[in-house]
Every structure is written in structure tokens, then in C-alpha cells.
Amino acid sequence: MLTGTTVGLRARYEDDIPILVAELYNDVVNGSRAEGSPWRPIRPSARDPRLITDESKEDVVAFSVVSLADDALIGSANLWGIDTHNRFAHLGLGLIPSARGSGYGTDVVAVLCRYGFVVRGLNRLQIETLADNHAMLRAAERNGFVREGVLRRSAWVLGEFMDEVVLGMLQEEWMRRS
């Protein structure tokens, strides 16, 4: 397990899936804002690729996030779009509602950066988030990500087009902070 100050990132267990479905993926607002695709309901037993880890896929690594204090499941995190030629990947994360706003998200980003830069030897990590997702923007910036641009009206979210912000960090920048 990868550990931060308050969170652990471990493999996805079968028992995690109904909790993540109920708390994250079947939430229409969260799903619509986070997925970049139309929300659809998921059965707890569904073999949905967002929930099932396929170790044969080289371009994505999925984690379940637990609280180190009590080992409780608090969310999901991943590195996706892993490009081993350009040594680049995207970060994704989502916490269950009761775990938000307590500093866990900032710690998850820190752990994903360590995994990306140290374990995987990547050179660049990227986050895309809606321009009004202040918690995600802050969690990224607290870890050294810089805003690189705005994709104007690039996301259709529940009846309106919204801007997305692209944030990036290079390995050399992360090393200087560590």
C-alpha cells in the first residue's frame, strides 16, 4: 500500500465496489461533473471498467483510498492515460461525500505524485478539472501543480457548458519541493 500522511492507496477490493457505486458513481451531480461523459446508473455488481481493475491494461492504475486512522474506504484514485513514451499521465480522484473537506484529497494528490514520479518514473503529471471545482484546484496547487490553461466551454455538465482548467507539474518541479 502507498501511504501519505492520512491516506493509504491500495488495490481495489470486491467489497469496495458497492460502496463506491452508492457513494460516488450513482451520484448524478458528482458523476456528471467528474466523468466527462453522460451519467448512467451502475449496478453494484456491474463489471464497470471504472470500478474493476484490469491489471492487463498498461495505461491505467486504479486505487481505492482508505483513511489510515481506521482503514475505512473513503474514495477512489487513479493514474490514467499513462504514456510510457512521453512519460506522462493524468491524475483522477473522488472522495465519498463524508470524507471531503478534511485534507484527504490534498494527501491523495501527494501520494499519486510520488507514485507517478518515483515508482513509475514519469516526467509530467496533469489534472483537468472544472473551473469551479475549488477544492480540486486547491488540492492540486497545494502540491505544486500550476495552472497551464483554460479549455473554454469544453465540458457539458447538467445543462450548461463549463470551462475546464488544465494543471501540470514536472518531475523536476516536484523533486525541488520534496
Ligand X SMILES: CC(C)(COP(=O)(O)OP(=O)(O)OC[C@H]1O[C@@H](n2cnc3c(N)ncnc32)[C@H](O)[C@@H]1OP(=O)(O)O)[C@@H](O)C(=O)NCCC(=O)NCCS
What is the DSSP code string of 121-163?
A: --SEEEEEEETT-HHHHHHHHHTT-EEEEEEEEEEEETTEEEE
Residue nearest to ligand X (CB): 105
As measured in angstroms, the least distance from the Cβ of 129 to ligand X is: 4
Q: Which is nearer to ligand X, 13 or 80 (CB)?
A: 80
The footprint of ligand X (CB under 6 A) covers: 30, 34, 93-95, 100-106, 129, 133-136, 138-139, 142
Q: Where are the alpha helices (DSSP H) in the chain?
A: 16-20, 28-35, 104-114, 134-142, 171-177
Q: Which is nearer to ligand X, 49 or 121 (CB)?
A: 49
Q: How far is the CB of 56 from ligand X (least distance, A)?
A: 26
Nearer Cβ to ligand X, position 47 or 138? 138
Give least dist CB 155 to ligand X, A: 10
